[in-house]
Amino acid sequence: TNYFVHGRKHLEAEKRYVGNDSSAYLYCDALINMVDGKKRMMVTSLKKMLEIADESDENYPFVNTILGEYFWETGNYDESVYYYSKGAIANIRSANLSGVALMRLGEMLSLTNDKSRAYNYLAVSLDQALQGDMKFNLMRLNEAFMDVSSDIDKDRHHKLAILSGLVVVLIMLLVLVAKMIVNKRKEVKKLRVVEERLARANLAKETYITEFMGLCSSYIESLEDYNRLSRRKITAGQAEELLAYIKSGRIIDEQRRKFYEVFDEALLHIFPTYIEDVNKLLQPDKQIVLSSPGILTTELRVLALSRLGIDDAAVIARFLGISTNTIYTYRNKLRTRAVDRASFEEDAKKIGAF
């Protein structure tokens, strides 16, 4: 009664939001009539709904089940079997394990002495209840199923075989669940590792952006200093000194030094074990040793740019301020020191990958 009182309020509210000619409206109207005890009006609304609804309607199985219940209670077993069957078919086609139409159909057929069909339908219902973990249905199904089984075959050995089969099925389900739990735990561990790597990747992205902004700011400041110096020298008539300063290449060397510092710091921040990972690909007696911590050698920078997807030797040469031939020389030297020369470059590109 408590559920009916609260449910009726919701049904009235839902009717206000759906069209008068919709199946949802008729379904709500039918349930309200059920609450009010107007069973005949309920049946009229449900039948009208079935005229405009098909199995794709989410309420279709429930409508047929309710009609089956009504005709069962009124003693019209043929109509009851008809609507229970339609509800059961709809539940099976929609893979609805919580539906009770098939269970009710099995019980109904058991009362009409159609034991063979009742046994089959109750067996399938029991399997569905186990899969859907429908504990209430399991209690009712167990009783009905055992009664039908006992009526079909009184042989104690056969009954024991049926029970043993059910136990085996339950054990298999438990084993299956246990395996699923183990597999899920493994998957969770893998997901945690991926999550940590994704977090590092996000941090790497932020690091790259920060370093890039800092480097751009530094270039702008250097350009402003150079403009001021040029303006001052030209104004003072010191064009020769300015030309000598430009020819010395100090500006380019300073900016390239800043680029190296930012690149080395960002790379080692993103791939903390980059040096160790590269050395694993090289022969033990030909591994790379840094002269200063945190400062990469030119050959490591060449390899790191390739790791970042820059394979064009001309582009790498412009980045590092060396000739294209020098790039090829460094690559060949590293390849000759590798444990597996054929796959060295591909293996180097996989450093730090998921």
Instruction: Write down all domains in the chain, each with its CATH number in brackets.
Output: 2-175 (1.25.40.10), 272-354 (1.10.10)
For residue 188, the model assigns a pLDDT of 87
Closest by CA position to 82, among listed 108, 116, 54? 108
* Length, in residues, of the chain: 354
More confident residue, 314 or 138: 314
Look at residue 142 and tell me whether its pLDDT is greater than 90. Answer: no
Q: pLDDT digits over 187-235, tens only? A: 888 888 877 777 766 666 666 666 666 656 665 666 677 677 777 777 7
Closest by CA position to 347, among listed 268, 269, 279? 279
Residue range 122-137: mean pLDDT, rounded: 79
Q: Contacts from 334-341 at CB under 8 Å and sequence distance 24+?
A: 334/282, 334/299, 334/302, 334/303, 337/282, 337/283, 337/286, 337/287, 338/281, 338/282, 338/283, 339/281, 339/282, 339/283, 340/281
128 — pLDDT class (breaks 50, 70, 90): confident
For residue 45, the model assigns a pLDDT of 92
Residue range 139-167: mean pLDDT, rounded: 73
Residue range 316-329: mean pLDDT, rounded: 82
For residue 205, the model assigns a pLDDT of 61
- Residue 305: strand, helix, or coil: helix
For residue 353, the model assigns a pLDDT of 66
Percentage of the chain beyond pLDDT 90 is 12
Structure tokens that stand for 333 in this block: 């030297």
Which among 41-55, 111-125, 258-272, 299-313 has the top mean pLDDT?
Answer: 41-55
For residue 209, the model assigns a pLDDT of 64
Look at residue 30 and tell me whether its pLDDT is greater than 50. Answer: yes
Q: pLDDT digits over 330-352, tens only? A: 888 888 888 888 888 888 877 77
Structure tokens that stand for 256 in this block: 């390239």
Residue range 276-281: mean pLDDT, rounded: 84
Q: Please give the mean pLDDT across all residues of the chain.
A: 81
Q: pLDDT digits over 234-264, tens only? A: 777 777 776 776 666 677 777 777 777 777 7
For residue 212, the model assigns a pLDDT of 62
Residue range 269-297: mean pLDDT, rounded: 82
Residue range 174-199: mean pLDDT, rounded: 85
Look at residue 85 and tell me whether its pLDDT is greater than 90. Answer: yes
Look at residue 154 and tell me whether its pLDDT is greater than 80. Answer: no
155 — pLDDT class (breaks 50, 70, 90): very low
Max CA pair span of the chain: 121
Look at residue 354 and tell me whether its pLDDT is greater than 60. Answer: no
Strand partners, 338: 282
Residue range 46-52: mean pLDDT, rounded: 91
Residues 317/261, Cβ–Cβ less than 8 Å = no
For residue 42, the model assigns a pLDDT of 93
Look at residue 102 and tell me whether its pLDDT is greater than 80. Answer: yes
